Amino acid sequence: MALWGGRFSQAADVKFKLFNDSLKFDYRLAEQDIIGSIAWSQALSTVNVLTSDEQMNLETALNELLVSVQENPQQILQSDAEDIHSWVETQLIQKVGDLGKKLHTGRSRNDQVATDLKLWCKKTAQELIVHLDTLEAKLIELARIHQAVVLPGYTHLQRAQPVTFSHWCLAYLEMLERDHSRLEGCIERLNTCPLGSGALAGTAYAIDRTALAHSLGFARATRNSLDSVSDRDHVVELMSCATLSMVHLSRMAEDLIFYNSGESAFVEMSDLVTSGSSLMPQKKNPDAMELIRGKSGRVFGSLAGMLMTLKGLPLAYNKDMQEDKEGLFDALDTWGDCLAMAAMALTDLKVNETRTKEAAQGGYSNATELADYLVAKGIPFREAHHIVGVAVVFAIEKAVPLEELTVTEFKQFSDVIEDDVYPTLTLEATLAARKAQGGVAPEQIEFALTEAEKRLIGRDTKGIVIRDARLTDIERIESMVNYWAEKGENLPRVKSDLAESLSEFVVTELDGKVTACASVHIYDTGLAEIRSLGVEPGFEGRGQGTALVNLLVKRAEKLAIKRLFVLTRMPDFFMKLGFSPESKATMPEKVLKDCAMFVSQHASDEKALELNYKTSMLLHKETSKS
């Protein structure tokens, strides 16, 4: 049944229904639609639209539906529902009867779909960050292994100056780090909740939209209802992130295709990511790289299509916006697949060191060194440039490299050239001379690699997705916190208390399951406390606790919190993260009173530690290995 049929006396034409319906692609938002519906039921309960019993019945039914959808999302496609919102509502009504019809009170599909899509974007963007980290780690690993391998550098696809294979890897690492930064910025900007904006003018019910936003894991509620339901900046921005990253992946793919060719033979790609020819048995084609290069076009096209869709739309919602999802889903799916495939291709890449060195020695790539040698002898660079050019022509005619010309032959071009020219023309000397930051000198490569490793370690979560807590996480949070409370490592928390302080919590996910949590509580004294750090038993030792604490430290810094402390029976863990032992007596009286409300039997064992911001920044910059 359509959600809007009362106004119409005739059923929609079958062809129009097929043209209009979006279930075939927006079914992917099922989990987000259900989570948003649970939060909305909670909000309706606070304004007495739903009784506590009604809300609990709806939440129970929605959670059952969520489990069913997670186990078998394809079941949704068996329905003839118009979209995912009508499917969820129909399923809910089947479970709880007319009560299910009350859930949409004060809500529109406009703010509903905007919320669903933002929730999906947040989750998917976090998964893409993990893909980026994985590929960056592969590039760093490859660079470390082949640190001393010389590679010809190119401009205009002609040999220019020698570099190293490590330097090549680090160049693409820089591109991916910018991709990473853009994606993180996008997540921060989209972290606002449209729910409660209604169709375009806001909801008529006195919903606390800030509390609603926090319950769904958003940083805040959106500020303008017209903008809320029509904003698709996050869609465009994510597509833009994907597009620019695909440019980088395509360029890397093109390099590897060229390096893998018989003409270059610099690398050999693994059998795992190559294919053969149906006719020519000797062929080994770099199909993975060619597909990455090819798939970049569809991502670019998605972005262009979305921009064209939005550019002429009046406020507020228009059905044109339904076109946002297919392009977005495809672009981000493609980007994720290509990041994963690029990482796989680099895993078993073989580098032909002999061949790369031969190529680097050819092409007169040491000509610039000869020019620099002449400059050191007092010849102006422009004159030196001309002299070397003439010498290169002579060497080409003689079919020898520059370093095989005799001193007598060199002196035809400049009297200042002596025997001391030869050491400057070696590959080793050519590389060593480029010792300014960012150059190819061995010490600069080592410095760049070490810094890259530190940066990656600093944010390495080993496949962990970190996000703000949601209402649906409360039972998992309660279970983890109280498990460690029983062990004496935490203070116990009841569900009602957790619900009230949900906006303070962040959680981690592994393989889609919430496996750790932590919170930061801010006192009106300007002091903040890290609380309720807990990891699911069996998932310890994966860096989740460190990742959560580091995130909460960053948030405290952004909020200009001057003092951040923790009461713990695990002081060593926090000391590794920059916390220092502190006397409880130095804390404001109100803080001590608030802490006293949560006294446990192990309170006498708890140590007070306060973050040393200078030490924390140093650890984050230089080691970050904890």
Q: Which residues contact 211 (CB under 8 A, 6 or more apart)?
A: 43, 46, 503
Is 234 one of the catalytic residues?
Answer: no
| DSSP structural state of residue 619 | I
Q: Which helix (H) or strand (E) holds 593?
A: helix 589-596
Can you read off the two tokens belonging to residue 25? 């692609």
Identify any residues that bridge with 505 across adjacent strands, giving them in sequence order: 519
Residue appearing with tokens 């962990």: 464
Q: Report d(CA 474, CA 530) in Å as an integer.
A: 18
3-state secondary structure 252-297: HHHHHHHHHCCCCCCEECCHHHCECCCCCCCCCECHHHHHHHHHHH
Asked if residues 579 and 566 have their Cβ atoms less than 8 Å apart, the reply is yes
Q: How many CA atoms lie within 13 A of 207 on its CB side?
A: 29
202: left (phi over 0), alpha (psi -120 to 50) or beta: left
Residue appearing with tokens 């996480």: 473
Q: Which residues contact 408 (CB under 8 A, 6 or more apart)?
A: none
3-state secondary structure 67-113: HHHHHCHHHHHHCCCCCHHHHHHHHHHHHHHHHHHHCCCCCCHHHHH
Residue/partner pairs of 66-74 with CB below 8 Å, 24 or more apart: 66/31, 66/34, 66/35, 66/472, 69/30, 69/31, 69/34, 70/31, 70/512, 73/27, 73/28, 73/30
Of 52, 156, 496, 583, the catalytic one is: 156
Is 277 one of the catalytic residues?
Answer: yes
Amino acid making up residue 463: G
- Burial of 412 from C-beta contacts in 10 A (0-12 / 13-18 / 19+): middle
Can you read off the two tokens belonging to residue 613? 């911001």
b or e along 88-105 (b: 16 or more beta carbons within 10 Å of the residue's beta carbon)? bbbbbbebbeebbeebbe
Q: Which helix (H) or strand (E) holds 153?
A: strand 150-155
465-468 and 505-510 beta bridge pairing: antiparallel
3-state secondary structure 203-264: CCCCCCHHHHHHHCCCCEECCCHHHHHHCCHHHHHHHHHHHHHHHHHHHHHHHHHHHHCCCC
563-568 and 527-535 beta bridge pairing: parallel
Of 181, 261, 275, 277, the catalytic one is: 277
Residues catalogued as catalytic: 156, 277
